[in-house]
Structure 1
Amino acid sequence: MVAVKAYYRFFVVARQFLPLVLSYLRDRYRFFFFGRSRNVTAEMRVERAEALLDSLLTLGPTFIKLGQLLSTRPDALPPEYIDVLTQLQDDVPPAPWEEARTVVEDELGSVEESFEEFDTEAISGASLGQVYRARADGQDVAVKVRRPGIEDLVETDLTVIRWTLPLVIYFVDDARAFSLGNLADEFSKTIREEMDYEREASMLEEIRGNFTDDPKIAIPAVVDSHSGPRVLTMEYIGGTKITDVDELDERGVDREQVAERVTRTYLKMITQDGVYQADPHPGNLAVKGDGTVVFYDFGMSGRVDEFLQEKIIDFYIAVASRDIDEILDILIEMGTLSPDADRATMSAVLDVAIQDARGEDIETWRVQQIIGQVEDTIYEFPLRLPSNLALVMRVATVVEGVCLTLDSDFDFIAVASHFLTERGYREESIQAYLEGAGEDVREAARAAVDIPPKLDRSLDRLERDNVYVRAGIEDDDGVLDRLARRVVYGALTAAGIVSTTVLYVAAEMLAAGVAGVATMALVVLLWRSFRERRGIRTAPKVTERYLDQRRRHRE
């Protein structure tokens, strides 16, 4: 049945995306199948990104979730698309109560018997579920109900995405093909997990257990007796939306402390606990009158293994210390940056990004700007972003955006640095550095003893003219071969032009015609050799002016 629906859905999706596909084909070939490529400006990309956003909204819940996931993958899309898709909110009108009632009663039995009270007006609606207020076992609860019929729609859409992916990959380069392939697998896994309310309940309870000793963090408890795979009932905890600054001020809440509390909570989740809520947008965070931060919605949550935890800690320490080489080494170890990448170019990007992030005040750092400008390069360089790291990057940028709304002078890096120092991570890093420095000193001492005799022998051989130099040239991409062919084609073309001219003047028309045809063939071969895109390229020249233009465009 799903397959039959998928055929119809495939044509619906294809019709929706056809204008964008045609535009992309014209970017590669001006006349679709031949001709030079077109120059695509940033303005054109923004227009197309907005068209993509409209298409995703039109196609419904599954594609809204896909757009949200795409907004976390700068290795798969240009930065202009990321900026537009980041605005995509999972805010969908709730399904009619009578349809939602069927889901509740299938899971729990009669609504009237299961709940003492039940408000049939949803307090929030999303693409995969909707939330109602109710009362059960003498306490106020929030009841999250999976959207009716969403399972069949999601499975149908996932089938369509699997059918479409090979067509998309055919038109992109290898790095983007790798990213899109991983993204499709990740999306299938993520959306199925988010529809599984039993998994969400388990993650919620685990994260809640990690903060039982912190009175300033509130996470609702699960009401197991009223929960199932499609219905999740939790205690209801009210609060002011975290970005409602005016109401927070009226309640006398210290916004600066709240911003620091949110940041420290996520740092603890990621660097210590290894499990975190991965969707910290303002709708999922609230603040009580005493400054307690309330966390909602754990459908999108993730885990961080010990290796990634260690690397994230090292990354924050390296950024705080402005150690560019260490940052690059960490990115390579995490699998984000290719070991063959141009370190000089990437160093320039990171150095300028950090300079810019510091602003006029040398102590004011903005991790969102650092990550944002590094993300800009991810699409242009052959980098690959692991899915678990993509979620962590998204959490970092969204959290800082929320905190900057609370406190315009908020310094994410300073808070992260203090957090790591309090837990001894920076001291461990300094100790490791000192131990490494001690080893370097010992190596230098040994070298000071070994080098003079070797240098004396080398100078003696040089004096006797007994020195030979052997050089090897690596040419795995065949660059020299292409250069040689171009030289040969050029020489033969020049000779052909001269020969054709001489024969024509000598009135040897047949011979001149043959020579002319041969010369034209050589001209075509020469022209095609210069049209080849592989091999001879220069690394992108990243300058401060270039990044400033990017930053102004984003703002």
Structure 2
Amino acid sequence: MRGPHNLLRLIRTGATFERTGAMGAVLDAMEAPPRLRVAARILGWPFRWLGYKGDPALPPITRAITALGPAYIKFGQILSTRADVVGVQMADQLRMLQDRLPPFPTEQAKEIIQTDLRQPVDLLFSEFSEPVAAASIAQVHRARVRETGREVAVKVLRPGIAGAFRRDIDAFHFAAGIIEFLSPGSRRLRPRDVVAHFEATVTAEQDMRLEAANASEFAENTKDDPGFAVPRPHWDLSSRRVLTSDWAEGLPMGDRAALLAAGHDVSRIATRVIQLFLQHALRDGFFHADMHHGNLKVAANGDVLAYDFGIMGEIDEYTRRIYAEILYGFIQRDYRRVARVHFEAGYVPRDRDEAQFARALRAVGEPIFGANASRISMANLLAYLFEVTERFGMQTQTQLILLQRTMVVVEGVARSVDPQLNIWDAAKPVVSDYIKSNIGPSALAGDMARVAQTVGRYGPLLPRMVEQALWERAHPEDARRIQPVVIRRGAPVWLAVALALGAGAAIGMVLV
């Protein structure tokens, strides 16, 4: 229920940061001005006693976030990839949120497996380890299938996780409503839609059967991608709360020192991570939307291994083309083109000045080109991007939230592996290939073929549609008394005729 009781939850959030000592660290990372620091302390200190104590053994920020619950942990996982935004020290503290949270007892995990799979764990697996990784949603055990001897990872959903997420998201909805009420200008960012999108995402993540389906489809899409591997799910050993998949052996993507010690080319790996993400997003429209360090490994042969497919992103073909055009325009430093695409897609209101928007985009892109990657302040860049979106009245595009968020996370992961990585250089070959094959005459021919196929499926209905429309025009009184079968009442004759002629033209063009 999104009632005022959530106000206590929000107050408790600030109080927890104050009580655990995380408030000062957050303000330091934000480089907050003195007035904001004073205001935060004045508002937070009186309610300090309401905050959760957390685990004193953890660093302050991690202590506060883990005490607050899984939804906050998810947000912390995103920030953990952005050392260039929150600082190296905070990023290191937050990284443990990816897979090193306190686990729940192994016996409890075995009970869940036995209940869902209807067999004791000892009959299913000849070996079953203590938790090897624990995150916000579930924890993982290393096991060996008794029947086949195959080594697998068994992921078990945390008990009570659904209720915990519901409480957090309920408070987020309440906060989004308050923000929109108190700050009408924030409505262009659509905070309530963003929270609703987040809610749908994490709800789906709590069903391991959907994750198994995601892994299966993703593996099918990427089976021919060189230097990339996806563990396959074991359907007979999976359920709503349990997912069993192949074991992925490799070094953690976040351990740069270990990668260097093993002789891996970190520059190649970082570039490959960026390119794989773009290939999956642009080519397939189906991509891993939770690509933080904890979900990536590097195999002994240098392959990138991805796992944990609870959150996947999906974008339609039109949006993929828009996204590719924007990226390509930045790569080519053609800011007029980038601006024009934004206006054509409706991302920027028509009453704004396209030339001014292009100059604002130039101020975003130019500092990146030719600059040493380690000298680029992503925090300043993101802050300026926010100013640009506000100045030009751009609304949040909910269909792009996962794509944009994952792009930020993936770049953060890649730059942690290779601090000198330039994202535009890495992206150029993938985006250029996509533009060549999907925008132009060949793409138009493919579009027309799909139009013909779609219209062709309705071909048998077209004569009836024309006949129905003509009869309604000739007998309007009778038409008002009965329910038409194919076309709703009052449809003009020209619509049915146009459909018929359009179908013939489309099919003819394809045949020619």
Q: State TM-score, norm by structure 1.
A: 0.63
Q: What is the alpha-carbon distance in structure 2 between the residues aligned to residue 365 and residue 169 of structure 1?
A: 36
Q: Is 2:22 the partner of 1:13?
A: no
Q: Is 2:57 the partner of 1:61?
A: no
Deviation at 1:45, TM superposition (A): 5.2
- Letter aligned with residue 236 of structure 2: S
- Give the match's secondary structure for 2:254: coil
- Give the match's secondary structure for 1:377: helix
Q: Kindly tell me: are residues 256 and 65 of structure 1, through their superposed partners in 2, closer, same or farther at Cα, counting changes over 3 Å?
A: closer
Deviation at 1:401, TM superposition (A): 2.4
CA contact (8 A) 1:49 1:80 kept: no
User: In the alignment, which residue of structure 1 is the partner of 2:405?
Assistant: 394
Q: Is 2:109 the partner of 1:113?
A: no
Q: Kindly tell me: are residues 414 and 378 of structure 1, through their superposed partners in 2, closer, same or farther at Cα, counting changes over 3 Å?
A: same
User: In the alignment, which residue of structure 2 is the partner of 1:96?
Assistant: 105
Q: Which runs of 5+ in 1 are unaligned?
A: 21-39, 73-78, 433-555
- Which of 110, 114, 135 is equivalent to 2:144? 135
User: In the alignment, which residue of structure 2 is the partner of 1:229?
Assistant: 240
CA contact (8 A) 1:216 1:292 kept: yes
Q: Is 2:348 the partner of 1:298?
A: no
User: In the alignment, which residue of structure 2 is the partner of 1:286?
Assistant: 297
Q: What is the alpha-carbon distance in structure 1 between the residues aligned to residue 138 and residue 39 of structure 2?
A: 29
Deviation at 1:294, TM superposition (A): 0.4
Q: What is the alpha-carbon distance in structure 1 between the residues aligned to residue 298 and residue 78 of structure 2?
A: 27
- Which of 158, 168, 190 is equivalent to 2:201? 190
Q: What is the alpha-carbon distance in structure 1 between the residues aligned to residue 273 and residue 371 of structure 2?
A: 26
Q: What RMSD over aligned residues (CA atoms) do the two structures have, in Å?
A: 3.9
Deviation at 1:7, TM superposition (A): 7.9
- Letter aligned with residue 244 of structure 2: T
Q: What is the alpha-carbon distance in structure 2 between the residues aligned to residue 290 and residue 19 of structure 1?
A: 48
Q: Kindly tell me: are residues 226 and 276 of structure 1, through their superposed partners in 2, closer, same or farther at Cα, counting changes over 3 Å?
A: same
- Give the match's secondary structure for 2:395: coil
Q: What is the alpha-carbon distance in structure 2 between the residues aligned to residue 242 and residue 221 of structure 1?
A: 20
Q: Which moved more, 1:330-339 or 1:242-251?
A: 330-339
Q: Kindly tell me: are residues 85 and 401 of structure 1, through their superposed partners in 2, closer, same or farther at Cα, counting changes over 3 Å?
A: closer
How many percent of aligned residue pairs carry the same amino acid? Answer: 27
Q: What is the alpha-carbon distance in structure 2 between the residues aligned to residue 407 and residue 214 of structure 1?
A: 22
- Give the match's secondary structure for 2:102: coil
Deviations 1:126-173 (A, max 9, x none): 111111111113111111111011122223444444455433432122
- Which of 406, 423, 428 is equivalent to 1:412? 423
Q: Which moved more, 1:334-343 or 1:320-329?
A: 334-343
Q: Which moved more, 1:188-197 or 1:146-155?
A: 146-155
Deviations 1:185-239 (A, max 9, x none): 1122011011111111111111111121234211100011110111111100110
CA contact (8 A) 2:360 2:388 kept: no
Q: What is the alpha-carbon distance in structure 1 between the residues aligned to residue 284 and residue 434 of structure 2?
A: 13
- Letter aligned with residue 404 of structure 1: R
User: In the alignment, which residue of structure 2 is the partner of 1:240?
Assistant: 251
CA contact (8 A) 2:270 2:414 kept: yes
| Equivalence map 1:326-365=2 (5 Å) | 326-343=337-354, 345-360=356-371
CA contact (8 A) 1:367 1:400 kept: no
CA contact (8 A) 1:179 1:384 kept: yes
Q: Which moved more, 1:179-188 or 1:83-92?
A: 83-92
Q: Kindly tell me: are residues 170 and 373 of structure 1, through their superposed partners in 2, closer, same or farther at Cα, counting changes over 3 Å?
A: closer
Q: Is 2:231 the partner of 1:220?
A: yes
- Give the match's secondary structure for 2:357: helix
- Give the match's secondary structure for 1:122: strand
Q: What is the alpha-carbon distance in structure 2 between the residues aligned to residue 334 and residue 370 of structure 1?
A: 27
User: In the alignment, which residue of structure 1 is the partner of 2:284?
Assistant: 273
Deviations 1:395-444 (A, max 9, x none): 22222222223333323212322223345628956999xxxxxxxxxxxx
Q: Kindly tell me: are residues 428 and 153 of structure 1, through their superposed partners in 2, closer, same or farther at Cα, counting changes over 3 Å?
A: closer
Deviation at 1:266, TM superposition (A): 0.9
User: In the alignment, which residue of structure 2 is the partner of 1:307?
Assistant: 318
Higher Cα radius of gyration: 1
- Letter aligned with residue 420 of structure 1: V
CA contact (8 A) 2:128 2:143 kept: yes
- Which of 107, 111, 123 is equivalent to 2:132? 123
Aligned pairs, number: 400
